[in-house]
Amino acid sequence: MAIICICLTQTATAQQLQPGDSTVMVLPDSSNFVTASLIVASPGKPIYSALGHSSIRMQCPAHHLDFCYSLETDVQAINFIQFFTGEAKACFAAVPSDEFLGYYRSQGRRVMEYELNLTHHEKQRLWKLLDDDMVEGAHRKFNFLLNNCSSATMVILDYALIDETFQYDSLPAPMNQLSGERVRYHSRRSPWMQFIMMSLIGSPADSNVELPYRFCPENMVPALRGCHIESSDGSTRPALLGEKEISPQTIDLSPSPFSPTVVFATLFVFVLLVTLLEWKLGWHRLAHVTDVILFALQTLVAVFMLYITTVSCLFGLHWNWYLIPFCPLAIVLWLVFRKRKAISTVYLLFTVVLIIFLLLTPVSLQLDLPHQLITATLATRTASNYLATK
């Protein structure tokens, strides 16, 4: 592309500029001919921005070039659907820095810039890798757990090094935890994002992944602060040169009081009340309507969970604990036995399964309070229906 072609030209011309020329003078060692920086934006209000965002800023002051390379996916509806099929693709896209940074400034999000301590040739190589990635188009598999803006950024920075490697002297504690613990920690400010992520993550919650795929916007900078670049000759230098705030945070990111725990605890209490009214006052109609709504939603979620686990390659094919309470077999058994005496056995079986599932909470990092409140709600109604049909 024209961008990289210009920046790969010899620096002699830029060094011989006449006095009064507005172009930035290049230092004798060409160290400022190209600058590379890590841009980290704080979380935003929309749920999809709850973890923040990271990108790479490339500048060539001598030629007034300034772009932010951000890993992006197409925001059309079909691509939203493709995310859940595991087929969403992304690539780095170059956006003029004024436009890119202005977007986050308009949202009131804090943006920090950290200059990377790369050699002149490594910065040129990085720029070329970013341009090549953009030219190739959307080709990177995207998901929020492994292949995201931060992991892609760290991977391409690794590729940019020439006979050098990043050596991490220390890592933030969450980066050494299992995936489920790490996801919980970094999504702590957005309970609904945390709920969605823990619903989908499945068995990877109890495993760990290679280092480049543990990065997220929040832990990148702490990790790089405790990192040095080691050359093949054994010499080292800090990975970061400095930092500056581009825009301050002006939005309030206090979590909504209607968290998943509050919402599903309220639902649980409501169902307990409905069940009590059913048995004490004979309000069978209300109980029936509650059951229809509750088990219809359970069926929809069950089909979605089964698809995510067995068909979608969102995180690779894996076991998801929530296939136990959200099991499509439940609706099949109900349809087959609803007019038979054996329906009471179906209700009893499902009640026992749900109670056992509640006892499994300590077994997996995926299992948490909001989901178990849903499980307890389902168990309450299946137990009530068992007693009514016995």
Q: Which residue is listed with tokens 């749900």?
A: 354
Residues 344, 204: Cα–Cα separation, whole Å: 36
DSSP 56: E
pLDDT in tens, 304-315: 999 888 888 777
* Residue recorded with tokens 């359970």: 298
CA distances from 74 to 90, 217, 315 (A): 8, 21, 20
Q: What pLDDT sits at residue 140?
A: 86
Task: Match 């959307």 to its residue by tokens.
Answer: 138
Query: Cα–Cα distance between 357 and 367 in angstroms, integer?
Result: 10
DSSP string, 196-265: HHHHH--GGGGS---GGGG--HHHHHHHHHTEEEEETTS-EEESEEEEEEEE---S--PPPSS-HHHHHH
Residue whose token pair is 């945070």: 249
- pLDDT at position 323, please? 93
Enter the pTM of the model: 0.85
Token pair for 310: 């067995």
Do the Cβ atoms of 343 and 337 come closer than 8 Å? yes
Query: What is the per-residue pLDDT for 152?
Result: 94
Mean pLDDT by 10 residues, the chain (390 residues): 41 35 50 87 90 96 93 66 78 96 95 96 96 91 85 96 94 93 93 93 89 93 95 94 94 90 98 97 96 95 90 81 92 89 93 95 92 97 94
Q: What are the start-end ranges of the E strands in the chain?
A: 35-41, 53-60, 65-72, 89-96, 111-116, 140-141, 164-168, 227-231, 236-238, 240-247
Residue 207: what are its φ and ψ, rounded to 5°?
-130, 175
Q: Give the model's pLDDT for residue 310.
A: 86
Q: Is 19 helix (H, G, I), strand (E, B) or coil?
A: coil
The CA radius of gyration of the chain, in Å to the nearest whole number, is 27
Please provide the average confidence, as pLDDT, over all residues in the chain: 88
Measured distance CA(146)–CA(320) in Å, rounded? 17
Residue 52 pLDDT: 95
